[in-house]
Amino acid sequence: MKVLMALSGGVDSSVAAAELLRDGHEVVGITMRLWGGESDTGCCSVADVDDARRVAQQLGIDHLVFNFTDDFDEHVVAPYVQAHREGLTPNPCIECNRHLKFHRLSERADLLGFDAVATGHHARIVEHEGVRYVARGEDPAKDQSYVVHMLPQRELARTLFPIGHLTKAQVRERATGMGLRTADKPDSQDVCFITHDGGRTAFLGSRIPFRPATVVDATDGSPVGRVESIEMVTLGQRRGLGLPGGGPKTYVVDIDHAAAVVTVGDESLLQTESLQAHQVAWAHRPVQGRVLVQSSAHGVPAAATIFLPADDNGSRVHLRWDEPQRRVAPGQSVVFYDPTDTFVLGGGIAR
């Protein structure tokens, strides 16, 4: 099979390409040039592209570099900025996977006549009752099914996750055994277009005006402080609010973006019995009933029941938790797993 392998310059995609070769596939490596600005983190730096090219040379496969900077800006960076402007907490890595690392990669594979595409994600694809689903990877600590939850049947049918059956330790062992230059390379942890030096504040501050906000106490509404930029505040945040120390721990329990008011209070005020999600993508068809729900990349799944509005096609859901859970910041992704916590049924964005 002719496979277009996404080489990010990290150890996972390097070993994934080697696994494909070992299985007898014809492999061509592709590196996406996504971010045209300054980058010292993530998978968009010049060093990462160079590492991908050299790994391709070590493996003896062709290596292509595709420039998708305009698409990245349109589908990832611009929505990230706009979300902060609107008081949301976006997840740019999921949008990058949705629009670039799978959709655009699949389009390019069609254009070039490839049979399949592959990435180095720690996830698997399984078949259940004749339907394909994204399933959890072998290594619970590195499982990435959450960030690739949006894949539809067409892309599931032609996508390969060659290292989904391996733990991270096994991936590094194989890379070391093959002498790959990425064997000891640390994992990327940060958003690729946010630099270490400037951080999120500098990135957003150069693109949108920051608005100060009053911080008030949840018990009586009395002012207790002030933040310089409400756009930088997230539900559940505890640090960076400029409040005096020494007292009980306080958390952001509400953000009124229009009124420029941030409410802080006890952590118990973050508990909720339900959740609304929209822009839901289903692996197969809309699901009602019992599920497990994960609300962060490495969060602990919680049991809930899904209810579908009668006047909707499945793009919106209402969740009721079995037990009260901490509220999910609006803009974050929530992913629904089957009751056995094995594979992904779908996922959406918290409101």
Q: Which residue in 43, 44, 93, 192 is the catalytic one?
A: 192
User: Within 13 Å of residue 117, how many CA atoms lie on the same side as its CB?
Assistant: 24
State CA 85 to chain mean position distance.
20
Q: Which residue in 43, 44, 93, 96 is the catalytic one?
A: 96
| CB atoms closer than 10 angstroms to residue 47 | 11
Which of these, 154, 144, 96, lies nearest to 120 by C-alpha position?
A: 144
Which of these, 259, 277, 283, 267, lies nearest to 235 by C-alpha position?
A: 267
Q: CA–CA separation, 125 vs 127, rounded Å?
A: 7
Q: CA–CA separation, 187 vs 255, rounded Å?
A: 33
The answer to whether 223 touches 242, Cβ cutoff 8 Å, is: no
Q: Please say if 96 is a catalytic residue.
A: yes
Burial 245-281 (b: 16+ CB within 10 A, else e): eeeeebbbbebebeeebbbbbeeebbeeeebbbeebb
Tokens representing 315 are 């793009």
Strand (E) or helix (H) holding 2: strand 2-6
Q: Please say if 93 is a catalytic residue.
A: no
Instruction: Please give the positions annotated as active site.
Output: 96, 192
